[in-house]
Structures are given as C-alpha cells and as structure tokens.
Amino acid sequence: MVPRLTSAAWAISLALCGMLATKDTASAQAQSVPSPPLVGAPSPEQVQPWGLPPPPPGIGPVSLFADIHEQPQGKFLEGGAFDNDGNFWFVAIGSGWVSYLTPDGKLVPGFNCDPKDDLGPACEPQGTRWHDGKLYVTTRHLGILVYDPQTKKVSSLVSTFHNELFKGPNDLDFDAEGNLYFTDPWGTGPGPDAADKTGAVYQYSKDGILRRIISTGSFPNGIAVSPDDGTLAVADYAANRMLYYSFLSGPNAACAHCANDPSHTTFFFATVGSYNPGNGGPDGIHYDVHGNLWAACGIGGIIEYDPRGFIVGYVPLPNGDPSATNFAFGGENNQYIYMEGAVSGTIYKFKAPYPGLIGPGGVRLPAQH
C-alpha cells in the first residue's frame, strides 16, 4: 500500500529530487517525477472487510436452488429441515406458511399456522426439526407446534411455562436421547413482561417435563447439540456471539469428582466465545459430523467455526441479501448446505466439506473424527 503524503512532505520530496537533478541532470531529465496520489477515500475495491475470512476450504460453488419471493410461502424465510424423502421444509414468518421444496426445487405448500379469519395472534413460525416422523415448529406466539404428515394435523406441544406465555420461541434441536431444547428470546412474542429483556433456553424432556435450564443471554436464537452429545451451543444474536454449555457428564480431567447428570439439565461450565465481526448476529446453527459448527448470520451468509470455536470461513449469499436466517444440511450424502435469503425469498446451496450431523428425518448421524 502506498502511504499518503502531506503537501509539506511532497515539498521536501521534490526538493530532494532537485538536489539529485543537479548531480545528474541527464538522468533526471530522462525520468519523470510521479504525480502525488489523489486526496480522498480509497476506491471500494481497495477496501477489505476486517475479520471475515474467505470461504472455508473444501466447499463447492454456491448455486441457486429456488426463488419463491413472489409466493406467500416466500415472505421472510426461516427454519430448515429435511424429511426422509429429501424434501426441504422451511417457514415464512410473514405469512404463517410451513412448506417444503422437493429435491428438484418445486414448491409445495404444507400448512398455515395463522389463525383462520384473523382471529387471535399471528403464529409467526420460526425453527423446524423432524423427530420420530413428525415436524416440530417453534412459533413466536403459539409455543411449540407438532405437525403429523400422516394425519395432516397440527397440535400444540407446549405454549406456557408456569402458566406464563413464552416470550417468543425461536429455534430448537434434539439431543441423542430425544430431549427437545428450544430458545425463547425477548422482544419477538407477547411475553409476560416487556421490561424483562433476558432470554431463556428450555428443555422439554423425552418424559414430557418442561424445564427452564438457562435464563441468561441477550437474545438466544439458534441452538444445536454437539456430535458427542456433550455440548449445547446457543447463538446469542444480539451480542453477536456463540455460547457453549458443557453438560455435566461425570468425572473428567478437570473435575475428578463431578457427577453424571443423564437428564442433560445441568452444566459443568459455560463458555462465551466466537464473537463475530459485522452488524448482524448468528441465527440458525447446525453441527457437521466432525464437530464444526455452522451459523447463518445477519450479515448475509454462513460462518463456519471449528470445534474450538475459531472462525474457519464465511460463505456469503451471492445476491447480497442482508439476512441469512437459517439453513439445513441435505442432498447427496447429507453434505450440501441449503441456506435461505430471508428478505429475497431465495434458497442457495453449496457442498460442505463434511456431512451435517442432522440427517433426513432428524436422525443424528454418527460422529466422525
């Protein structure tokens, strides 16, 4: 990079050039003095974003999978989960639709969770996960819904905690034992108290017990359980960071007397890490089978973190959409990432280095090392 010089510096420089010219006039006349650089801001192509690396090694080209921005099912995309037939399920927050795209990109409306005849609050669906043949959907105003594709019926799993409304459930995941975890940030749903700006994480156990296991975090958004079933990762959107909660799972090198909590409701420790650059925090998150964590971000792309929490690479949406809300692993060998441009109503895909942890139908694939 050529440094910018002040007018005084240029005067000194020219004077030195003159001194050299008296020493070797013929050589000086043969050479022209370069013009000083233009004053002002550098051109856009000279400016490089700080903190974001190039795309991660081993990924394939990014290509358009579907563009549904003109459809009601494409009004601000969220969610992301593949069923056993290879269909990509997602939601439209703006219209209440839960739909899917076939493997060849054909749009198929599933169901609409908004109340009929505009009675009651809008559903505003958020995250999606398949489990045991049913689709689980978090919603801002109706809690957790369950869709049975066999009967085409939608039922409510849970909508309150201790007789209080949730603040706006956002995303969800299951651990290896079948316990359900979901985030409940403030500011997007009805909530019990507008002055309470703390987010929470809940566990709905495989035995049907609802517990609040985390009551801190500025805006817990995406959530995912690691391949070894030992860590709960939470995307803290407002703080633009990733949180890692280690389950209490018996003695270890740091705690020889630690007990084992098979219920996955107690943590050994919590770590704040993986702060992201830019103005847009992490949203939906998913692990791959190697323990790398992938996060859709409000800056318009997907960030990959290694198992230690370091940023490995960044994949931007090609169309400049300012909001990548969510995604899912699917396709051949479960190794393609389908990411959503929420504002543009588009879905792009690219091949990832490793298969995703959550396979078709919500099945957790074996971890790889």
Question: What residue has token string 């940023």?
Answer: 311
What end-to-end distance do the CA atoms of the chain give, in Å? 42
- The total of other beta-carbon atoms located within 10 Å of residue 238's CB is 16
Q: Which residues contact 261 (CB under 8 A, 6 or more apart)?
A: 247, 248, 249
Q: 104 is written with which tokens? A: 């060849």
What is the SS3 assignment for 38?
A: coil
Phi and psi torsions of 282, nearest 5°: -75, 140
Q: Containing H/E element for 18?
A: helix 7-23
The DSSP code for 178 is: -
136 and 129 Cβ atoms separated by less than 8 Å: yes
Q: How far apart are CA 113 and CA 91, in angstroms?
A: 10
pLDDT for 73? 97
pLDDT for 115? 84
Phi and psi torsions of 201, nearest 5°: -125, 135
C-alpha count within 13 angstroms, C-beta hemisphere, residue 205: 11
pLDDT along the chain (369 residues), means of 10: 42 39 44 51 53 86 97 97 98 97 98 81 94 97 96 96 92 98 84 72 97 90 97 95 94 89 92 87 97 96 94 92 94 98 96 98 95
How would you class 90 by CB atoms within 10 Å of its CB: exposed for 0-12, middle for 13-18, buried for 19 or more?
Answer: buried
Q: Is the four-CA dihedral 356, 340, 79, 235 of positive or negative sign?
A: positive
150 and 157 Cβ atoms separated by less than 8 Å: no
Give the architecture-level CATH label for domain 60-362: 6 Propeller (2.120)
Nearest to 210 by CA among 140, 161, 144: 161
pLDDT for 123? 92
**Helices within 140-231 (DSSP H only):** none
Q: How far apart are CA 315 and CA 302, in angstroms?
A: 5
Q: How far apart are CA 65 and CA 84, in angstroms?
A: 19
What is the distance of C-alpha 69 from the center of its chain? 21
Name residue 135's beta-bridge partners: 130, 147
What is the SS3 assignment for 286?
A: strand
Q: 201 is written with which tokens? A: 């994480």
pLDDT for 28? 44
Q: How far apart are CA 70 and CA 89, in angstroms?
A: 18
Q: How far apart are CA 130 and CA 147, in angstroms?
A: 9
224 and 233 Cβ atoms separated by less than 8 Å: yes
